[in-house]
Structure 1
């Protein structure tokens, strides 16, 4: 078993994301149930013809399924980072299914830095911008910036900047 110098797992857990999820579901469900109530109890037809209740049900169900799917994907998202004596590994599931392995030989330099997710990358997530490179972020504004020897840049968001920096130093110096 290989010794892990650093490990971190991040996920979306901001209150406003949960609020948006609930508000979106309510925005679809309230008109859906109002429409069904109007058609069934009051006899008011919403659409054209006898299939309007079925159309309403199908569109409501499809809308709910899409919203639930999007939020399941958001809540299932995980940014995992680990550093061993041999390499740095990063994975952003469910979007990236394989660990990305970065060895010390591939890294020209590194630094912990403050970044502006919206301005530099267009928000959190897996983002690539020509000027700034690729970023794997979930939340916050602190990350490990890697400058690779092939000219590419990679930013990995972190909530544990001191531990990340310490483990990177150990990796780059070849210590355990």
Structure 2
């Protein structure tokens, strides 16, 4: 049962560099296809030197819209949630880790807030898996909560509040040592 929270952090990709980059790419592609469809289907002029058939143009435009929409939805909906109460640590990373996971003292061998190199250690941000460093669930930045589980697996949870998280981890570890 979850007690009173001593730490809570919710991060999203909304309004990050990646979100804006993908939005700009989407607008460019949508604009290009809108121009091509209007030129070829409405005005009856060929679009390009070797134009597609009308059917192929419509299908390609629709598939592009669906893929771009799915990527935009993914970047808009990805949410990392980290919570700590007096005895447990909770995390989720929608849509990949949908239900909130609970970690207790018996689940962990170590935990520490550390600075890391997202690109070098994990290949970037998001839901990342590295052969050497385990999993990383991060949104942006270069600070994270490094967890080592009892089975030896490593998990890094990205944070934008490193100092507050350090304080919460210290409180959590003190509570664990008092038990």
Whether the aligned pair in 1 keeps the contact of 2:143 and 2:158 (CA below 8 Å) is yes
Per the TM alignment, residue 94 of structure 1 is displaced from its structure 2 partner at its CA by 1.0
Per the TM alignment, residue 16 of structure 1 is displaced from its structure 2 partner at its CA by 2.6
User: Matched residues in 1 for 2:60 and 2:76: separation?
Assistant: 24
Structure 1's 40 and 99: CA in aligned 2 closer, same or farther, altered over 3 A?
Answer: closer
Runs of 5+ in structure 1 lacking a partner? Answer: none
Runs of 5+ in structure 2 lacking a partner? Answer: none
Structure 1's 39 and 130: CA in aligned 2 closer, same or farther, altered over 3 A?
Answer: closer
TM-score normalized by the length of structure 1: 0.86
User: Matched residues in 2 for 1:151 and 1:171: separation?
Assistant: 21
Whether the aligned pair in 2 keeps the contact of 1:107 and 1:148 (CA below 8 Å) is yes
CA deviation digits over 1:89-121, x for unaligned, max 9?
Answer: 110001111112110122222221111111101
TM-score normalized by the length of structure 2: 0.85
Per the TM alignment, residue 32 of structure 1 is displaced from its structure 2 partner at its CA by 1.7
Whether the aligned pair in 2 keeps the contact of 1:7 and 1:82 (CA below 8 Å) is yes
User: What is the total number of aligned residue pairs between the two structures?
Assistant: 173
Of 99-108 and 113-122, deviating more is 99-108
Per the TM alignment, residue 81 of structure 1 is displaced from its structure 2 partner at its CA by 0.3
The DSSP-based 3-state class of the residue aligned with 1:99 is strand
User: Matched residues in 2 for 1:44 and 1:4: separation?
Assistant: 63
User: Matched residues in 1 for 2:37 and 2:65: separation?
Assistant: 15
User: Matched residues in 2 for 1:138 and 1:18: separation?
Assistant: 11
Whether the aligned pair in 2 keeps the contact of 1:110 and 1:145 (CA below 8 Å) is yes
> What root-mean-square deviation, in Å, do the aligned CA atoms of Structure 1 and Structure 2 show?
2.3
User: Matched residues in 2 for 1:170 and 1:74: separation?
Assistant: 33
